[in-house]
Amino acid sequence: MKLMADKQSSLLKPQFWLGVLFFGIVVYGAVITWQGIEDWLQDEQRLPVQKIVVAGERLFIKDDEVAKVIRQAQPGSFFELDVNKALAAVEAMPWVHKASLRKEWPSTLKVFLVEQVAVARWNSDSLINANGSLFNAELDGAPLPLLYGPGGSEQTALQGYKDMQQLLASSGLQIEELILSERFAWQVKLSNDIMLNIGRKEFIDRVQRFVDLLPLLAKNKKAVEYVDLRYDTGLAVGWKGESES
């Protein structure tokens, strides 16, 4: 009974309630302070991303375009900026092959870019890089070879182009247009306007046969229109203005 009486007596003392009040003030102050710090950190005007530094060799990607994409995707402060979301926005740009982003205290974002390198046009509506990957970007007037083929065959077509071009380069010829049919038969238009009908089998050996016989064909005063290489040991030549011979 005495213990309970002492406890009740202590509760009635002003010092106890002053202690409770002080503790409440401390807790309330901590909450307000934390909320203020959080608001301050998220305030774009107080800690904005002041500099976006873009590095990497580029021909088509402009620094201001990269900065605009990042600020539109992540309009918040330096601390609020989500690097992964900003990276996804940058890598979605047409000419960006790969990118990396890094924050640098106190207000700088560093961006490193690897730009796409187009080696050919694919089916008139896409570009293809050296790895055989497709991407969509504007490239007006560039003298790129034209590759055509069924969906999913872009890497096969590109590798065939590379192999055949390596053989034809020794004769000073360039492939301007390559067609890979649904049955995976090859047809090629050269820079001298000669069409090569190569067929499906042993296309490297057949192109080599054409290269070997090209000096003989060049001796004829007539211009070659097409060469049909779909034979085991020979070829058929069509001369411009004449029927096949």
What's the domain range around 99?
51-115
CATH number of the domain enclosing 183 = 3.40.50.11690
For residue range 222-242, what is the model confidence (pLDDT) as tens digits? 899 999 999 988 899 999 876
Q: Average pLDDT, stretch 109-113? A: 96
- Extract the tokens encoding 47: 């800690």
Instruction: Identify the H or E element spanning 85.
Output: helix 83-91
Confidence of residue 3 (pLDDT cuts 50, 70, 90): very low
DSSP per-residue codes, 22-47: HHHHHHHHHHHHHHHHHHHHH-TTTS
Contact in structure between 102 and 43 (CB atoms under 8 Å): no
Does the structure show a pLDDT above 70 at 181?
Answer: yes
pLDDT at 95 over 50: yes
Tell me: the pLDDT tens digits for 115-128?
999 999 999 889 99
pLDDT band at 34 (very low <50, low <70, confident <90, very high): low
3-class SS at 90? helix
Cα 145 to Cα 136: distance, rounded to the nearest angstrom: 16
128 and 195 assigned to the same domain: yes
Residue 78 lies in a domain: yes
pTM of this structure = 0.77
Neighbours of 205 (CB within 10 A): 12
Residue 71 lies in a domain: yes
User: How many domains in the chain?
Assistant: 3
Say whether both 210 and 134 belong to one domain: yes
Local confidence band at 96 (pLDDT 50, 70, 90 cut-offs):
very high
Are residues 230 and 129 located together in one domain of the fold?
Answer: yes
Q: Please state the rounded mean pLDDT for residues 172-189.
A: 96
Share of the chain above pLDDT 90, in %: 65
Average pLDDT over residues 135-153: 92
Label the pairing between strands 146-148 and 186-190.
unpaired
Give the strand order in the sheet containing 96-104.
51-55, 108-115, 96-104
DSSP states along 127-196: EEETTS-EE----TT--PPEEE-STT-HHHHHHHHHHHHHHHGGGT--EEEEEE-TT--EEEEETTS-EE
Q: What is the pLDDT of residue 130?
A: 93
